């Protein structure tokens, strides 16, 4: 491929005599980026849901990611680096996955008509995945840009103020459903696509995977809604002092001493 001239590639003969390996790489990368992002979202949900335990616990987890317990002071830039990595992964995944979406009215019409008469769960779930994936192009980009530029504004009050006084909660609410549906279906599809966990009986494995998929989706949606509700409540109560940073009592006492 490397030796192919632009002229040969330009007239569509670059694949002679050896088919391009790019489709294989794109397929692997699509699965890899999707898998990493879906697993990251599980971790992300656990981190943000620490607010349900206590403000101090959420503060501790946040500072941990900023290297506070290693360097003695927070470096929010570390968060920006992680966010940038996720952003790169996200853009790559979007770029790869968009190849699968219907790209014209004919394809849209074919799939919709097919889905309606077939009434086949996995066929319908793909449509849900396609719609939520399209929504995430926009929702995630906005969220990641905010996190990239203001990595230090994560914390019990900082996040709650953003959610409530900053009016981010509608975006987070829509994004929660889009992410959990998209990621859950995506992980299930990865498993059946590559034949993971298949031990002799593919049908039994798939049935178990489907049940696990729904159980995880419900669990993370419940956890996400509870978490968002908690931030909204804290933000509402803290609205008149929006912008004030959260400092745990233990740290305040330490500073006085």
Q: For binding to another protein (CB under 8 A), which residues are involved? A: 18-19, 21, 23-28, 99-100, 102, 107, 110-111, 114-120, 122-123, 126, 189, 192-195, 198, 202-203, 206
If the CB atoms of residues 194 and 236 are measured against another protein, the closer one turns out to be: 194
Closest CA relative to residue 81, chosen from 96, 67, 69, 60: 67
If the CB atoms of residues 102 and 166 are measured against another protein, the closer one turns out to be: 102
Q: H or E stretch including 213?
A: helix 202-237
As measured in angstroms, the least distance from the Cβ of 197 to another protein is 11
If the CB atoms of residues 209 and 228 are measured against another protein, the closer one turns out to be: 209
If the CB atoms of residues 56 and 198 are measured against another protein, the closer one turns out to be: 198
Locate the DSSP E strands across the chain.
Answer: none
- Cβ–Cβ < 8 Å for 74, 166: no
Closest CA relative to residue 180, chosen from 227, 126, 152, 221: 221
As measured in angstroms, the least distance from the Cβ of 27 to another protein is 4
Helices and strands of the chain, counted as H and E runs: 11, 0
As measured in angstroms, the least distance from the Cβ of 125 to another protein is 8
Distance in angstroms (rounded) separating the CA atoms of residues 246 and 169:
20
Q: Which structure tokens are listed for 199?
A: 């031990």
As measured in angstroms, the least distance from the Cβ of 186 to another protein is 11
- Residue 224 DSSP SS3: helix
As measured in angstroms, the least distance from the Cβ of 107 to another protein is 4
Closest CA relative to residue 148, chosen from 99, 205, 105, 91: 91
Q: Which structure tokens are listed for 233?
A: 């409540």
Distance in angstroms (rounded) separating the CA atoms of residues 180 and 133:
11
If the CB atoms of residues 54 and 109 are measured against another protein, the closer one turns out to be: 109
If the CB atoms of residues 212 and 247 are measured against another protein, the closer one turns out to be: 212
As measured in angstroms, the least distance from the Cβ of 26 to another protein is 7
């Amino acid at each position: 491929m490397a030796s192919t001239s632009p002229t040969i590639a330009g007239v569509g003969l670059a694949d002679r005599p050896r088919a391009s390996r790019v489709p294989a790489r794109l397929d692997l990368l699509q699965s890899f980026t999707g898998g990493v992002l879906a697993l990251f979202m599980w971790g992300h949900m656990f981190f943000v849901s620490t607010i349900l335990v206590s403000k101090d616990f959420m503060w501790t987890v946040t500072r941990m990611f900023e290297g506070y317990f290693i360097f003695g002071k927070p470096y929010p830039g570390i968060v920006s680096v992680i966010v940038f990595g996720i952003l790169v992964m996200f853009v790559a995944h979007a770029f790869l996955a968009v190849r699968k979406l219907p790209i014209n009215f004919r394809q849209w019409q074919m799939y919709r008509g097919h889905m309606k008469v077939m009434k086949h769960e996995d066929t319908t779930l793909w449509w849900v995945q396609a719609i939520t994936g399209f929504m995430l192009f926009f929702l995630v980009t906005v969220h990641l840009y905010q996190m990239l530029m203001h990595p230090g504004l994560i914390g019990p009050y900082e996040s709650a103020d953003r959610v409530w006084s900053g009016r981010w909660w509608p975006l987070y609410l829509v994004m929660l459903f889009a992410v959990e549906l998209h990621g859950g279906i995506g992980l299930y599809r990865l498993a059946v696509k590559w034949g993971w966990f298949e031990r002799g009986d593919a049908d039994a494995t798939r049935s178990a995977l489907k049940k696990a998929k729904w159980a995880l989706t419900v669990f993370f949606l419940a956890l996400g809604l509870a978490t968002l509700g908690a931030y909204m409540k804290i933000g509402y109560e803290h609205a008149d002092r929006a912008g004030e940073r959260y400092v745990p009592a233990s740290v305040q006492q330490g500073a006085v001493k």
